[in-house]
Amino acid sequence: MLLANLNRAIDKAREAGLLGKDILGSGFDFDVEVHFDVGIFVSGESSALMRSLEGKMPEPRPKYVRTSVSGVNDMPSNLNNVETWANVPGIINNGVDWFAGMGTEKSNGSKLISLSGSARNIGVVEVEMGTSLKTVVETIGGGVVEGKKLKAIHFGGPMGGSIPADLIDTPLDFDELGKLGAPMGAGALLVIDDETCMVSLTRYFVEFLTKESCGKCTPCREGMRQMLNILNDMCSGEGRPGDIELLEEIADTMSVASLCSLGKTAPDPLRSALRYFKAEYEAHINEKKCPAGSCGIQSN
C-alpha cells in the first residue's frame, strides 16, 4: 500500500514534468526511484544501505572510505533521512533565517517525535526544537497512563538511552540530550513508567540488537551475546558480583572495536541505565530482587 501510494505520487510528478529529463524545460534532469529493503535493522546503517540498494547483502563496511566518496555502485552518494529532505522546501521558500529562527542555537527547526510507551497519547507529533520534554510528555502525550508514574524518558531506540523523570525540564536539543546520555536520534521517545524494570528494559534492547547484529565483526557479534547472557542471568536471579564491571568492560570494547555504529552504540542503553539506575542493577545482583517488580525475580 505504502509502496503503491509512493509510486503513484512519483508517476504523477513525472506526468506533470516535475521529474525526469529536462524538468519544466530547464535542461535539468532528476528522477526518483523507491527501493524496498529486506527490512533488517542494520540496513539503516549508511554503508549497509548502499549495499542493499545494489541488491547485495546489507553488511556495513569499514569507514576509511566514506559513502560520500564511494557509495552506491562506488559512486559518490548522499544519504539523508526523509525528514531531513522534508525540511528543504521550507528552507528554500522561506530562507535560512526562518529555519534558524526556530529551535535552539545549535538545534534548529522542528523535529518529528514518535511518542510511545506509557504515555496516554501515542503517535507522531512535530514540535519545535527547544520544546521541553515536559511539554512533549505531559501536554502532548497527556502524561503517564492511569495509576502509574513517570520513571524515565528513553530516546533513540535500541541504541539510545534513558534519563530519569527529574530531568523532564530538559529541552529538545541534540547536544543537551546527547550529554545526558539520551541522544535524540530519529526522535523515538519512549515514556517509561514506574513499574518498568531498567535491567529488563536494557535486556530487551540488547536481545533485539543481538538478533539484528549482522555478525560481520567479532566485538558486536560476541559482545552482544555475552551482554545478553549476563542480563538474562540478572533478570532470573542469577546475577553475580562483578557482573556490572564485566558489562562495562564489554561495552567499552564494543564501542571502540565494532565495525559500525550498531555495535559501537549498542551499549548506550546499558550505560545510561547504569548512570541513573545503577541501584536497580545492584538489587538484582546482591538481593536477587527487582525493585520495579516487573521481571521474573522476586519484587520488594
Ligand X SMILES: Cc1cc2nc3c(=O)[nH]c(=O)nc-3n(C[C@H](O)[C@H](O)[C@H](O)COP(=O)(O)O)c2cc1C
Positions that interact with ligand X (CB under 6 A): 41-42, 44-46, 79-81, 84, 186, 260-262
The DSSP bridge partners found for residue 188 are 114
Shortest distance in whole angstroms from residue 54 CB to ligand X: 16
CA-to-CA dists, residue 208 to 92, 104, 157, 169, 228, angstroms: 40, 33, 11, 30, 10
Question: Least distance (Å) from ligand X to the CB of residue 45?
Answer: 4
Nearer to ligand X, 45 or 268 (CB): 45
Decide whether 88 or 96 has the Cβ nearer to ligand X. 88
| 30 strand-pairing partners | 20
- Which grid coordinates belong to 78? 548522499
C-alpha cell of residue 138: 505531559
* Least distance CB 85 / ligand X (angstroms): 7
Residue 216 sits at the vertex; the CA angle it makes with 211 and 218, to the nearest 5 degrees, is 85
129 grid coordinates = 526544537
Q: Which residue is nearest to ligand X (CB)?
A: 44
CB of 166 to ligand X, least distance (A): 30
Q: Is 42 or 198 the residue whose CB approaches ligand X more closely?
A: 42
When the beta carbons of 81 and 286 are compared against ligand X, the nearer one is 81
* Dist. CA 127–CA 107, nearest whole Å: 12
Nearer to ligand X, 160 or 164 (CB): 160
Q: What is the nearest approach in angstroms of ligand X to the Cβ of residue 186?
A: 5
CB of 288 to ligand X, least distance (A): 34
Q: Of 83 and 176, which CB lies nearer to ligand X in the complex structure?
A: 83
